[in-house]
Amino acid sequence: MFFKKFSIILFILFSSTKLNAFEQNNEYQLNFFTGNFDFSDDKQSAYLIGFQHQDKNLVRNTFLGKVSPITGGFITENSAAYIYTGIEWNLDMGNKLEFTPSFAPGLYHEGDGKDLGHVLEFKSEVQLSYAASNNTSLGVSYNHVSNASLGDKNPGANSYMFNFIKNF
């Protein structure tokens, strides 16, 4: 219960805060998210909260859309944690909608949560977001974290999240 309240308070805090030092340049994007880690496994399902950073100075236009590096992490209510760095593609779908697939290898610590079989895990994610304003978007995302059979076992974890995305 504490974890849910903490997530809501954190979401409200960041959605109402203006960081003037970054707002003038509009060069950074922070994605704050909360959701359900490993929702497809009733015994291991847990709430999560996390963040992701994107530096817009590093965005490159390619035939795949706008590609940029990302860095982020999350922690679950069971003290499992994942930190990652990778790339995402930002595909404008019109009508203020953006589709964003991403891929990010990272380091996983199971804490009291699910044993994913290896410390090195790979996160594949898709996100759909709506631009509520020039600097704010709301989205939903789904990801799968797996070790690509590097470990003795590879159970994987499927998660969904609700995203609050702010450009600074």
In this structure, what token pair is assigned to residue 54?
């994107």
Fold of the CATH domain 2-13+29-140+151-167 = Porin (2.40.160)
More confident residue, 38 or 21: 38
- Percent with pLDDT over 90 in the chain: 72
More confident residue, 24 or 111: 111
For position 56, what pLDDT does the model report?
82
98 half-sphere exposure, CB direction, 13 A CA radius: 19
- pLDDT tens, residue by residue, 115-141: 999 999 999 999 999 999 999 999 999
Mean pLDDT in the chain?
88
**Mean pLDDT throughout 22-48?**
86
pTM above 0.85, yes or no: no
DSSP state letters, 93-161: EETTEEEEEEEEEEEEE-TTS---SSSEEEEEEEEEEEESSSSEEEEEEEEEEE-TT-SS----EEEEE
Give the pLDDT band (50/70/90) at residue 25: low
For position 121, what pLDDT does the model report?
98
Give the pLDDT band (50/70/90) at residue 7: low
For position 66, what pLDDT does the model report?
85
For position 115, what pLDDT does the model report?
96
- Look up residue 6 and give its DSSP letter: H
Between strands 60-62 and 65-76, the pairing is antiparallel
- pLDDT tens, residue by residue, 78-120: 999 999 999 999 999 999 999 999 999 999 999 999 999 999 9
